[in-house]
Amino acid sequence: MNIIQLSLKEIHPYKNNPRKNDSSVEAVAASIKQYGFLVPLVISAGHEIIAGHTRYKAAAKLGLKSVPCVIADELSEEQIKAFRLVDNKVGELAEWDVDLLPLELADIAQDLSIFGFDSISEEEFGEEFTLDSGEKKPYQQISLTLHDKQAELIMACIDYVHTHDEVQETFGNENQKGNGVYEVVRQWAEQRKLV
C-alpha cells in the first residue's frame, strides 16, 4: 500500500455519498489538529473519495493544502461502492466496554469532551490516582465517569472535608482525593447507621 500526498484541489468527494457527516467535521478537525493526519483518504484512480469524506472536510476546515491518500485502483466499481458503505457501517457495529473505558479515560489528562468523552480528569484526581499493577494491593483504583454537575459536587465535598480537617482515617493512602471521597461516604454511611 503506497501512501501519497495529494493537494486537496486534486481530490473530489463522491457526489452521491449517502453518509451525512457535517456534524462530525469539527471533532475530526480537532483530532487532526491534536494528533496529526494519521488515517489517509482512500481514493479511486480518478482521485474521487472512496472513504474519508469527513477527514477531507476537516482538512479543508483546517486550511490544509495536501493530505495523505491511498489509491485503491485494484477495486472494481462495484467493490468501490460496497467498500464506501461497509467502511462506514462497520463502526456502527462496535460497542464500548463500559468497565474498561473509564479506566482508559482515567489515565488521560487531555480534554476529550469534543469527542464525546466526559470524565473526571487526572488533574482533578491528582497524579497518584493511577497505580502501577505492582502498587495496587491493598488499594483499589476506581474510575468514575460523571456529568460536570456531579463532579462539581463531589469535588466540593472532598475539598470541604479536607479544609475542615474531617478526614479521620487514611489507611496509609497518599491519594488525598481518595481519602476525601472515603470520608464523605463514611460520614454519610454513619448518619444512616450503615457502619
pLDDT in tens, 40-69: 999 999 999 999 999 999 999 999 999 999
C-alpha cell, 150? 456531579
- CA 95 to each of CA 13, 99, 100, 151: distance values in angstroms, whole numbers, following the listed order: 29, 12, 12, 25
Is the four-CA dihedral 31, 23, 10, 47 of positive or negative sign? positive
Q: Residue 126 has what pLDDT?
A: 47
pLDDT in tens, 65-120: 999 999 999 999 999 999 999 998 998 888 888 778 877 877 777 778 888 876 55
Domain boundary among 37, 63, 93: 93
pLDDT in tens, 131-179: 555 555 677 777 777 787 888 888 889 888 888 889 988 888 888 888 8
Q: What is the DSSP string of 57-74?
A: HHHHHHT-SEEEEEE-TT
Q: Residue 176 has what pLDDT?
A: 83
Q: What gap in Å lies between CA 93 and CA 114, rounded to an integer?
A: 22
Domain boundary among 93, 117, 134: 93
Residues 9, 89, single domain; the answer is yes
pLDDT at residue 24 is higher than 70: yes
Q: Residue 147 has what pLDDT?
A: 81
Residues 11, 27, single domain; the answer is yes
At 6, phi and psi to the nearest 5?
-130, 145
Domain boundary among 70, 93, 116: 93
Residues 108, 68, single domain; the answer is no
Which residue segment(s) compose the domain that 183 sits in? 101-191
Residues 85, 137, single domain; the answer is no
* Residues paired with 172 in a beta bridge: none
DSSP code, position 75: S
Residue type, 57: K
Residues 106, 187, single domain; the answer is yes
CB 128 within 8 A of CB 147: no
Residues 14, 51, single domain; the answer is yes
Q: Residue 135 has what pLDDT?
A: 53
Q: pTM of the entire structure?
A: 0.60
CB 68 within 8 A of CB 4: yes
Question: How large a percentage of the chain has pLDDT more than 70?
Answer: 89
Q: Which domain CATH number covers 59? A: 3.90.1530.10
DSSP code, position 3: E
At 52, phi and psi to the nearest 5?
125, 20
| Cis peptide bond prior to 102, omega within 30° of 0 | no
